[in-house]
Amino acid sequence: MEPTKFRESRLAINRLCEQMDELIEKKEVDESRACFDQAFGELDELRPKASGDIQERSVKNLAMKLKGMEVRIAKLKTKGTASSGSGSRVKNNIEWDIERVAQLSKPFLEKVLKNMAVDPESKVLFGTTGKGIRPNYQIEFKDGQIVSYTGSGHKPKASPKGQGAKNLSSPFSFQEIDGILNKTGDI
């Protein structure tokens, strides 16, 4: 790529990083993520155009910088969460969608899938409270049986019928969870 155009693109991405840094400092989660997505998109456009060692090294450095920003954004708390020790508990309802489920750890999802494997037509519903790292979950089997599991130990929970149904996500199929695991295995 022509050096002047490459420099302009690189500087534009760096300006987005500075803007992202300010947003992170202000704890603006959604705005930080939007800025990150824009910067990452511009980097993806720039990457194949880089020619020569200097430009390729510059693209790698920008990618590392963005990776660091991504880690900082991931550590930000979303609005409505109470910090531990604040004295008041603000309820944090997690909205589960396929992208959010894909952010769960691979070992966690493997255990969920193992519990679902008895019935490939089963569906899993995740708990909407907590931090969303190892959520409790409920599996609905084709025969109508419903089993609730702890997120930390993946053990069945004994709970009275109907309890906790209000704190569950929409259902995700066995195939969706299996698809996430197969996709994350390639990363």
Interval 100-151: pLDDT, tens? 999 888 899 999 999 998 888 999 999 988 888 889 999 999 998 999 998 8
The predicted pLDDT at position 160 comes to 54
| Mean local confidence (pLDDT), 30-45 | 86
Distance CA 148, CA 137 (A): 6
The predicted pLDDT at position 123 comes to 95
Contacts of 147 (CB under 8 A, 6+ apart): 115, 138, 139, 141, 156
> pTM higher than 0.95, yes or no?
no
The predicted pLDDT at position 86 comes to 47
Contacts of 145 (CB under 8 A, 6+ apart): none
For the record, the structure tokens of 173 come out as: 């199929």
Distance CA 30, CA 76 (A): 10
* Residue 7 pLDDT greater than 60, yes or no: yes
Residue type, 124: V
| Mean local confidence (pLDDT), 80-96 | 59
* Residue 12 pLDDT greater than 80, yes or no: yes
Residue type, 125: L
* Residue 176 pLDDT greater than 90, yes or no: yes
The predicted pLDDT at position 182 comes to 83
Query: What is the side-by-side strand order in the sheet with 137-140?
Result: 156-157, 146-149, 137-140, 123-126, 172-173
Nearest to 152 by CA among 122, 125, 121, 127: 127
State the CB neighbour count (10 A cutoff) for residue 1.
14
Distance CA 124, CA 134 (A): 14
The predicted pLDDT at position 37 comes to 86
* Residue 79 pLDDT greater than 70, yes or no: no
Q: 66 with 43: CB under 8 angstroms?
A: yes
Per DSSP, the three-state class of 119 is coil
